[in-house]
């Protein structure tokens, strides 16, 4: 676990950041300092005053990882965690913001090759620049890298009867969540997610609006694979993701796992144009549905985002 991106994935997993519709978390217990922001400590993040309970815990974890790694003789630069609610604003929760994004970038797939220097586009060169932590790890010798990974820690091994993360991630997890183990929080979250999903999928108004949404898509010749309220909002976007060649996702994405050569701007433009049309049709068809869905989802117990 060498790069910042890996560490942030660990932090997200530990704090159970929601990834699916009807997902959400609440702190299983109070944090060690009740989520109060550090007083401008060097190398530490200040916790936003308006951050929710789960987001505050993620900030605490970043700061705790940095402190722990420093004691182990390594440098870790804490990075501001992503507030999931901010991403949903561009996925339909805020119609005007989503419209502005989709009119230029579509769903954000082929746009990476057309706008490689735009940090707003996932997969663009600008959006995938190595973080300070990745650059730091790159300077370590193989032996130092091994020691760094051990100090950082990893997920629990169920076969060994482990319930908590090890290393500095484990230390940070305990600081943020105290006695509640990852497994306990995961079980609680899974139960809450299921209850939230059942409530949303059983909401008569949302069901009716989802059916209207689906009918509109079909009239536009767009395949409909689900009409569940918790799934339909992302359905077209997910379908689009599978149809865009990896090379269209830009040089940044290619540098992080794709073996395909990135497409040129000229070759990607027709793909982006088609994607924009699809994204805008989806946005218009689902406008009434999303206007009703997001407020109800965001009020669901423990909710911090939507799918």
- Which of residues 51 and 199 earns the better pLDDT score? 199
263: phi > 0 → left, psi -120 to 50 → alpha, else beta; which? beta
Question: Are the C-beta atoms of residues 227 and 211 closer than 8 Å to each other?
Answer: yes
How far, rounded to the nearest angstrom, does the alpha carbon of residue 172 sit from its chain's CA centroid? 20
At residue 250, the pLDDT reads 58
Question: Are the C-beta atoms of residues 269 and 254 closer than 8 Å to each other?
Answer: no
Over 80: is that where the pLDDT of 134 sits? yes
At residue 104, the pLDDT reads 96
**CA-to-CA dists, residue 102 to 11, 94, 95, 238, 284, angstroms:** 30, 12, 10, 15, 11
Over 80: is that where the pLDDT of 229 sits? yes
Q: pLDDT digits over 241-280, tens only? A: 988 877 666 554 444 445 567 788 999 999 999 999 999 9
**CA-to-CA dists, residue 172 to 25, 153, 192, 230, angstroms:** 18, 11, 24, 32
Percent of the chain's residues with pLDDT above 70: 79
Q: Could you tell me the pTM of the whole model?
A: 0.72
Over 50: is that where the pLDDT of 10 sits? no
pLDDT-derived band at 230, boundaries 50, 70, 90: very high
- Which of residues 188 and 171 earns the better pLDDT score? 171
CA distance 133 to 129: 11
At residue 42, the pLDDT reads 67
Average pLDDT value for the chain: 81
Q: pLDDT digits over 31-71, tens only? A: 334 334 343 466 799 988 888 888 899 999 999 999 999 99
At residue 155, the pLDDT reads 87
Mean pLDDT value across residues 156-163: 80
**CA-to-CA dists, residue 184 to 181, 188, 193, 255, 286, angstroms:** 5, 6, 14, 37, 36
Mean pLDDT value across residues 74-88: 86
pLDDT-derived band at 83, boundaries 50, 70, 90: confident
pLDDT-derived band at 30, boundaries 50, 70, 90: very low
Over 50: is that where the pLDDT of 9 sits? no
């Amino acid at each position: 676990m060498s790069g910042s991106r890996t560490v942030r994935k660990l932090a997200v997993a530990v704090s159970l950041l929601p990834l699916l519709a009807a997902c959400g978390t609440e702190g299983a217990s109070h944090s060690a300092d009740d989520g109060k922001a550090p007083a401008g400590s060097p190398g530490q993040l200040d916790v936003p005053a308006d951050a929710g309970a789960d987001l505050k815990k993620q900030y605490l974890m970043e700061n705790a990882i940095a402190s722990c790694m420093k004691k182990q003789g390594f440098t870790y630069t804490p990075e501001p965690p992503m507030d999931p609610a901010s991403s949903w604003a561009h996925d339909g929760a805020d119609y005007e913001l989503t419209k502005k994004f989709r009119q230029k970038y579509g769903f954000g797939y082929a746009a990476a090759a057309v706008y490689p220097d735009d940090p707003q586009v996932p997969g663009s060169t600008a959006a995938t620049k190595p973080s300070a932590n990745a650059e730091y790890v790159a300077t370590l010798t193989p032996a130092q890298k091994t020691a760094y990974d051990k100090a950082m820690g990893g997920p629990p091994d169920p076969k060994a009867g482990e319930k908590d993360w090890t290393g500095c991630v484990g230390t940070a997890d305990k600081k943020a969540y105290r006695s509640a183990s990852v497994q306990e929080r995961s079980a609680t979250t899974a139960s809450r997610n299921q209850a939230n999903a059942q409530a949303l999928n059983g909401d008569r108004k949302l069901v009716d609006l989802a059916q209207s949404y689906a009918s509109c898509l079909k009239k536009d010749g767009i395949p409909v694979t689900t009409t569940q309220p918790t799934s339909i909002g992302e359905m077209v976007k997910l379908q689009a993701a599978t149809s865009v060649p990896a090379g269209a996702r830009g040089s940044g994405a290619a540098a992080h796992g794709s073996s395909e050569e990135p497409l040129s701007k000229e070759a990607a433009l027709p793909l982006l144009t088609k994607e924009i049309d699809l994204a805008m049709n989806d946005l218009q068809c689902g406008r009434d549905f999303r206007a009703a869905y997001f407020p109800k989802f965001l009020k669901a117990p423990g909710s911090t985002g939507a799918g």
